[in-house]
Structure 1
Amino acid sequence: MKIGIMSFAHMHAYSYADGLKKMPNVELVGIFDDDSERGKKAAEKYHTKHFIDQKSFLAMDMDAVIICSENFRHKEMVLNAAKAKKHILCEKPIATTVEDAQEMINVCDENKVILQTAFPVRFSSPMRQLKKMIDDGELGDIVAFRTTNRGQNPGGWFIDKQQSGGGAVLDHTVHMVDIMRWYLGKEITEVHAIVDSYFHDIAIDDAGLLTLKFENGVVASHDASWSRFKEYPIWGDATIEVVGTKQTVKADAFKEHFRIFTSRSKSLSYVFFGNDMDFDLIRDFVKCVEEKREPSISGWDGLKALEVALAAYESSEKKAAVNL
């Protein structure tokens, strides 16, 4: 299979390229990046061709592309790739507006190409094991979620609202909203949030606290922030605590373990895992293209996660809950 990467603006492009190079049935045939210096360096690193012209890149004989541009360029690149009949894995957030996300989905459908959203946290071993426990009924009925996604301030275009579409709340809400929707199979209907800049002197939000309500009455809280400083021993976290009628389970995608609290015992249990989420995401995308099946994480999943993050900004501005 022949795959190209569109832009190395997002740091995830490097881990995705690493993943492609590990797969014996995949060839990284080219990199488009109109930042000439960045594109040339990436092409040299991965021993492939660099294209500064998007049209020439998309005219290549290849099956799919991975888009890792600045957020505001996702729409442009997805539409162009879809019209060139290339299957697409798009970095999150899928877009900067819900309307753009819907147009991207529509154009991909019209051109009969896959649009998968890059939510690698779904491929974390603890998160997948917790999903199985929920599906098997081990937690009973889900009552509530408590989630966090806290990391370091990435700087650069991430703190330029025109290019990113939003700060920490957009960057660090979509992952865990996707996980909660995946676990519950229900949609969020109400968002209440406080969003501001607390940790850095920047003109964009670096933290937010969200309270969410699902259509079946389940409630959730989410802490999204760029609150981890350079001195912090690890990059950050992506955690979820699921409160069920039988037991409560907490998982952290980056610590590669989950903790179990149960009413049957006063003890605290730890189960450890280890895997490369980004590689598993890439492998899944390749399988989707090979098998001509629907993506595991669709454009619609990307849109619904984006919708919640944008509603958080609206709620904070209005100082009131927003209904979806």
Structure 2
Amino acid sequence: MKNKFLTSEGIQSLIQNKIYKSAKMVSCINIQKNIPSHIDLEKAIYEELKQIGLNDKYDFSEINILKNKNAISLIAKTKADAVLRIFFENICCGYPNSLNYEIIGKNESYIYRPLQQCVGYIAIAGKNKDHLQFLTHQPEINDIKDLPRPNKKTVLAILSLDHPHAEGNHIPALQKMQQFIQVKRIYSTNKKKACPWCRVFGAAHSDNLKEVLSDPDIDAVLITSKNNEHTELIKMAAEYGKDIFCDKPIVTEEKDLKIIAETVNKNHIMFITTYPVRLHPSVLEAKKIISKNKIGKIRAIMATNHGCMYTPKTPDWVKNPKQNGGGSIMDHTVHVADTIRFLTGREFKDIMTVASSSLQNIEAEDISVSHGTLDDGSIFQIDSSWSRKADDPVWGDVTFKIVGEKGVIWLDLYNNNCIEIFSGNKIEKLYPNSLLHQHGLIFYEYVKQKNWRKKSQNADLIDGIRTMELVFASYSSVKTGKKTFVKKTDFS
């Protein structure tokens, strides 16, 4: 299945054609626009539905709208089980063409995205003239090499290679960080998989977890196991006094949030939830702009985190909801949820989610869109679908539209820098993995805090717990078909 990139002409008629002539082949439709401020946002939503040939009274099995003065969010499911997501905002300043369309289908997808050569922009309405700043910086993991080095390396053990993030993100970053981090041991029940990496790091392989954790040289562990094994590994590592880097999701069952919190706090260890997005330079730049109140009070945030379910070699356990904890909601909500909290300093109040399983032929959901409110009344929208193909960028796309009263920030962090290599009769597409830089910074932020007592920008245990509370509320909403309030974990 290939993506087809569109021009702006004829998009609405194409969507209409796909809905009526091949409705069962359409899994998801995403529409995002900047609307002139003199046009009523809700009226614009219904006009959009009309133009693409949908009637909210007859064509939807579920539909929900959230709005305020500056933004409106619609999430819905059609009677043909397609999920529709629309996000409009009316802060008209700076970059005029913030239009995005996607038609995600079982056999083909159509995408229109005007921003292809930068990772975002910041547009602020000024008294005399508008301010527009384009963000283009895509850092590489090698940039970390020049950072200050500690007198002593952190000694790390890797607990399991079962999660694709282990070999896909963490280990490639650690390879470039051996002047800061020494990987001494790799625990894995799959010796054939572990031994090549043991040779790379000069590490010892072990299939005895207690043997690894009892090593007095080990300062910290990286947990990259099957998701449903996290709780037990966290408990054991904490009891041995090891600091913990834990891949997401930190747990797969709501009751385990309190268990791991009590275990970590009782043993006085550092816990890092490995969320890399908050460490992207453009996210950090956006946070500075927001903290200085340059775009005014935040009214809405739209975020996407699409992925390809780790295809083409998807581990069987990822397809099993009991081992994975669910589907795309469990996998992809947390990264952008953490970044929303990081940027705004606010907590999630409630959430409404629609989801379906229509692309991957699996039991769990692979299309999932949510919206709700933060505790200050601003609205958010999250698209956490597994809607990308195997030949798309390795980490899908991570985007944010942050709507303030005086300006907007648009971030497109990983999806747009494609290099085409022509060799013989073949064309190879290469997507530079700048994400490794942020995975490297996760470990460096720990080194900085541990050795020089400097404030870390890493996500900690509370950050991991708060994002998981949103995930569990999202699943509750899917089950009930209603808005769900986010339940805070009782640590007393």
TM-score (norm 2): 0.60
1:167 equivalent among 320, 323, 327: 327
Out of 253, 271, 277, which is 1:97 matched to? 253
Moved more, 82-91 or 130-139: 130-139
| Distance of 1:287 and 1:246 partners within structure 2 | 36
Amino acid at match of 1:249: I
Residues 63 and 235 from structure 1, CA distance in 2 versus in 1: closer, same or farther, beyond 3 angstroms? Answer: closer
Query: Closer, same or farther in 2 for the Cα pair 1:233/1:59, shift >3 Å?
Result: closer
CA distance in 2, matches of 1:42, 1:205: 33
Shift of 1:134: 0.6
- Provide closer, same or farther for how the CA distance between residues 165 and 294 of structure 1 changes in structure 2, counting only shifts above 3 A: farther
Contact 1:19 1:282 in 2 (8 A): no
Counterpart position of 1:18: 172
- The question of 1:33 aligning with 2:188 is answered yes
Which string of whole-angstrom CA distances, capped at 9 and with x for unpartnered residues, describes residues 231-272 of structure 1? 436641111110001111111221489xxxxxxxxxxxxxxx
**Larger relative contact order, structure 1 or 2 (CA cutoff 8 Å, min sep 6):** 1
Q: In the TM superposition, what is the alpha-carbon distance from 1:128 to its structure 2 partner?
A: 1.2
Map Cα deviations across residues 96-151 of structure 1 (whole Å, 9 max, x no partner): 12321221121111111001101011111111111111111111110000000001
Matched, 1:311 2:473: yes
Partner in structure 1 of residue 157 of structure 2: 4
What is the 5 A alignment of 1:144-183? 144-154=300-310, 155-156=314-315, 157-183=317-343
Aligned to 1:251: 411
The 8 Å contact of residues 213 and 220 in structure 1, kept in 2 or not, is answered as: yes
SS of 1:180's partner is helix
Deviations 1:261-289 (A, max 9, x none): xxxxxxxxxxxxx6711111121122233
Identical positions, percent: 27
1: distance between equivalents of 2:200 and 2:284? Answer: 32
**Residue 71 of structure 1 aligns to which amino acid in structure 2?**
N
Query: Is residue 396–residue 415 contact of structure 2 (8 Å, CA) maintained in 1?
Result: no
In the TM superposition, 1:40-79 aligns within 5 A as 40-60=195-215, 61-79=217-235
Higher helix share: 1
2:460 and 2:276 mapped to 1: Cα distance?
13
- Corresponding residue pairs, total: 308
Q: The residue matched to 1:186 in structure 2 has which SS?
A: coil
Farther-moved stretch of structure 1 (175-184 vs 278-287): 278-287
- Structure 1: tracts of 5 or more residues without a match: 258-273
Which has the greater radius of gyration?
2
- RMSD, aligned α-carbons: 1.8
**SS of equivalent to 1:227:** coil
Q: Is the 8 A contact 2:184 2:202 kept in 1?
A: no
Cα distance in 1, alignment partners of residues 361 and 171 from structure 2: 33
Query: Residue type of the partner of 1:247?
Result: G
TM, length-normalised to structure 1: 0.90
CA contact (8 A) 1:105 1:115 kept: no
Structure 2: any 5+ residue segments left out of the alignment? 1-153, 418-433, 487-492
The residue identity in structure 2 corresponding to 1:322 is: T
> C-alpha offsets along residues 263-321 of structure 1, whole Å, 9 cap, x if unaligned?
xxxxxxxxxxx671111112112223334677631111111111111211110110101
**Contact kept in structure 2, 1:191 and 1:315, CA below 8 Å:** yes
CA 1:88–1:6 in structure 2 vs 1: closer, same or farther (change >3 Å)?
A: same
